[in-house]
């Protein structure tokens, strides 16, 4: 059935209201994180964005922010979950919000992309499957995306949280 102008307008309103909801999530998260920084007496600038169907909140600029990242991002992951819960409580909607602090997640994304690409090329050359160390869901997704860009290899996640691992193997 052909689309009508009204169908296009309805889709546009739906996309607009979905983006408005994500902007609202970002605002709620920003307010929550601002209060947290005040309580901790930490400096930081909060930036809100919408990207790939999710709210992105970044905190940059403070000297103490590394403490909010923690070892291998453990504190960052916990703060992200707390922020998602605060957004859910205020909005009534489950949030997929992504939090980055002091650029840690972006730097980690670059590092994991290199790891995934290098591992995929090694597997392609040797034919031997490689099991990587356990990773968070964010880390696994970045590695899977990197592996998917190399023809002749595939990846899948195996195991149970928190010991879930990426396995890279030859194949489609």
Q: What is the pLDDT of residues 99-117, one digit of tens each?
A: 999 999 999 999 999 999 9
pTM recorded for the entire structure: 0.79
CB neighbour burial string for 124-143, b if at least 16 within 10 angstroms, e if fewer: eeeeeeeebeebbebbbebb
SS percent in the chain: helix, strand, coil, step 5: 55, 20, 25
Question: pLDDT at position 9, please?
Answer: 47
In this prediction, residues 148-158 reach a mean pLDDT of 97
**Quick check: 13 pLDDT over 70?**
no
CB-count burial class (<10 Å; 0-12, 13-18, 19+) for 88: middle
Contact 29, 55 (CB under 8 A): yes
H/E element holding 126? helix 104-126
Q: If you count DSSP H runs as helices and E runs as strands, how many of each does the chain have, helices first?
A: 4, 6
Which of 105, 109, 106, 100 minimizes the C-alpha distance to 56? 100
Residue with tokens 């290899």: 153
CB-count burial class (<10 Å; 0-12, 13-18, 19+) for 89: exposed
Q: What is the pLDDT of residues 16-61, one digit of tens each?
A: 688 899 999 999 999 999 999 999 999 999 999 998 889 999 999 9
Determine the Cα–Cα distance for residues 130 and 151; give it in Å rounded to an integer: 16
């Amino acid at each position: 059935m052909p689309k009508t102008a009204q169908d296009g307008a309805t889709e546009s309103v739906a996309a607009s209201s979905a983006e408005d909801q994500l902007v609202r999530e970002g605002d709620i998260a920003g307010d929550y994180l601002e209060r947290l920084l005040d309580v901790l007496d930490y400096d930081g600038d909060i930036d809100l964005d919408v990207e790939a169907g999710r709210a992105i909140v970044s905190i940059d600029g403070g000297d103490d922010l590394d403490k909010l990242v923690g070892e291998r991002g453990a504190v960052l992951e916990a703060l992200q979950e707390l922020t998602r819960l605060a957004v859910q409580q205020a909005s009534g909607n489950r949030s997929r919000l992504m939090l980055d602090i002091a650029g840690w997640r972006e730097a980690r994304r670059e590092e994991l992309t290199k790891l995934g690409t290098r591992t995929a090329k090694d597997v392609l050359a040797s034919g031997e499957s490689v099991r990587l160390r356990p990773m968070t869901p964010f880390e696994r997704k970045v590695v899977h995306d990197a592996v998917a860009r190399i023809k002749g290899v595939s990846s899948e996640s195996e195991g149970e949280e928190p010991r879930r691992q990426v396995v890279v193997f030859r194949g489609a």
